[in-house]
Structure 1
Amino acid sequence: MAIAKAERLMNLALCLMNTRRPVSKRELRASIEAYHEVTSDDAFNRMFERDKDDLRELGLVIDTVESLDGEFGYLARSDRNRLPDIALDPEEAAALSLAAKVWQQARLAEAASGALQKLRAAGVPYEDASSALEPRIPAPEPAFEALMVATRERRAVAFDYRKANAVRPEPRLVEPWALECWRGHWYLAGYDRDREDVRVFRLSRISGKVRARGAAAAAVPDHVDVREAVARWAGEGATAATARIRLRHESGYPLRARALSTAAVDSEWDELEIPYGHGLDAWLAEFGPDVVVVAPEELRAEVVDRLRAVAKG
């Protein structure tokens, strides 16, 4: 939602909620500055009806009252727009506090902290459980906030994306569906308009700014499981295709965790059999000299090419 429209809706809501009598459209037009710029009566009427419908969709209860002279007035009664008191026991309050502390970065950290302060001010019982456990979900990628907003507002976005096996980024036009943190990295699932198919994007591979490109058009599935999609894309759980790698002792624990089998080779190396899926070459390259690909040969060549590209860069 554009800032100008959000401000106009807020002013309209304040006018309707802070009056003791129904207010006519004529009075609202004179009171709200954003409506002053609309010179046509028809244009104002259409804008006002849209704004009123938007506020109702957001949950504001607006009464329409007809006066003796036939003019309609509008009013948002405080007793019909008041939320019920929140009642949380100490355990529920502690769980809520713990959840609010999860976010370290992005705009969510400030929002979560503000919500906790309001609950405490309202007298909700509070017990700090962070001494026992205090999880963290980092969101350091510059693209995170823009994609979070686009996902919430269902807006298509354009960005430059470097695939795991590419040296340079390519432009993408995507209708975002969902964000999820998986194995310490953030991923976006969405519909790629240029490729006309579902795609998963790792946020750390997005370069430059994320740019809005109007409303999204493709239907969003009832359930978008980004974690399952990323796991399938990376070969997690695959049984038909496997790769054999050698891994130095006391290194590569994420690889060891997904190994189908592990055998000692000598005093320095272990040999592992792991699921082989798309993107495995990029992951293996991250371990540098601690990993050597034994088979298949195409995976070995992909890892070598990637390491050479990094060395040249």
Structure 2
Amino acid sequence: MATVSPAERLLDLVIALRNARAPMTRAQIRAQVNGYHDAENDIAFERMFERDKVALKELGIPLLTITDATHGDEFGYRIDVSDYDLPPIELSPEEIGVLGVAAQVWDGADLASPARRGLTKLLAVAPPGTIRPAAQSLRLPTPDEQFDTLLAAVGERRLATFSYRAAHSGATEVRRVEPWRLLVSDGAWYLHGYDLGRDGERQFRLSRIVGAVRVDEPGTGEQHPAGPAPENQRTQAEAILLVRPDRATALRLRAVSVEPGARPGYDRVVLAPGDLGDLASLVAGLADAVVVLDPPELADAVRTRLRAVAALDGADA
């Protein structure tokens, strides 16, 4: 049986306590909540459960301990529904579609299963006609194995140390980095941060990290303030594109307007001003289905990327 991650176990504990008709005893929690079967013995279970109790309280989830009125011993546990329930939330089909796209970020990462489960429950009660994730796929790359560790390092401001293979030489060197953010560029995940050895901000492609990532204590990655995200040049006007029908879903998700059949064989798609590099990379990957009409700087950036790919193909031939 596969080991359940701590995050998934915690989510299952919340669901079980939230839906239990009566307080759950420790024995019931161990038997019924997915993840506690990984405990080798009673002591291991107690440690896991105590950690999860602390985690729930830190998240602001009102876990109540029910004690025996006579002896004061712990009898069971429940979540106070009156403090935990949120007001009804009504989401439009478009908003649910955006949440579906966002859930794809966790594919292959620690929260992949909870994200899929939450999205499935959301779609189960969604109104008819809601955009389905399968039809509106953002095609985000699957996170690399170092993703979870680096994401935690960013959030907790921990210095990260790892071996990194240079793209130009293939040489591997140890890099010590203050991690700022994780981002996607040209179909791959990158770490953006401050390289202490190079004394400057750098980007590191996660697929070139060799072996495990080591992290220091929380609060160690605060020596240099985070700089702006790379490639932050923005288009000054709306992007006007011609897009083949039923293609380029990622672009349609960003659209301000879509005019089906505006030209023979094409829809007219308009996008709001945004990050030039990000949009150019996206359009270049869909070049067989998209024509850039405006602005000129976007068309130039797309052509630059396509020429670079062509040059690489020629070099490999």
The TM-score with structure 1 as length reference comes to 0.51
Go from structure 1 to structure 2 and tell me whether the alpha carbon gap of 1:200 and 1:36 turns closer, same or farther (over 3 Å shift).
Answer: same
* Conserved? CA contact 2:160–2:177, under 8 Å: yes
> Within 5 A, what are the aligned runs for 1:124-203?
124-128=127-131, 134=136, 136-139=138-141, 144-152=144-152, 154=156, 157-192=160-195, 194=197, 198-203=201-206
Classify 1:222/1:61 alpha carbon distance in 2 versus 1 (closer, same or farther; 3 Å): farther
Tell me if structure 1 keeps the 8 A contact 2:165–2:210: no
* 1:151, distance to aligned residue in structure 2 (A): 1.0
For 1:208, the equivalent position in structure 2 comes to 210
Equivalenced residues, count:
242
Runs of at least 5 residues in structure 1 that lack an aligned partner in the other structure: 238-252, 260-273, 275-282, 291-306
Q: Is 1:60 aligned to residue 61 of structure 2?
A: yes
**RMSD, matched Cα:** 5.6
1:36 maps onto 2:42 in alignment:
yes
Aligned to 2:78: 76
Cα drift, residue 188 of structure 1: 0.8
Specify the SS of the correspondent of 1:180.
Answer: strand
TM-score by length of 2: 0.50
Structure with the greater alpha carbon radius of gyration: 1
Letter of the 1:63 partner, please give it. Answer: L
Name the CA distance, whole Å, in 1 between partners of 2:125 and 2:62.
24
Output one character per residue of 1:140-160: Cα deviation in whole Å (capped at 9) or x when no partner: 6xx724224431364655433
| Amino acid paired to 2:72 | E
Name the counterpart of 1:257: 300
| 1:26-66 C-alpha deviation (Å, 9 max, x unpaired) | 99899977472269xxxx7x987654221112342122456
Change (3 A) 1:110 1:124: farther
1:218 aligned onto 2:221: yes
Does the 8 Å contact 1:19/1:75 carry over to 2?
Answer: no
Within 2, Cα distance between the matches of 1:53 and 1:174? 30
Once the two structures are superposed, what CA deviation does each residue of 1:106-128 show, in whole Å capped at 9, x if it has no partner?
45877665444322212444433
> Residues 130 and 214 (structure 1 numbering): CA distance in 2 closer, same or farther, change over 3 Å?
closer
Give me the identity figure in percent. 28
Partner of 1:227: 230
Note closer, same or farther for the CA distance 1:123–1:175 as it changes in structure 2 (3 Å cut): same
Mark the runs of 5 or more structure 2 residues left unpaired by the alignment.
235-275, 278-295
Q: SS in structure 2 opposite 1:226? A: coil
For each residue in 1:183-221, what CA deviation from the matched residue of structure 2 results, as whole angstroms up to 9, or x when unmatched? 4443211344555654321335x1533434454522398
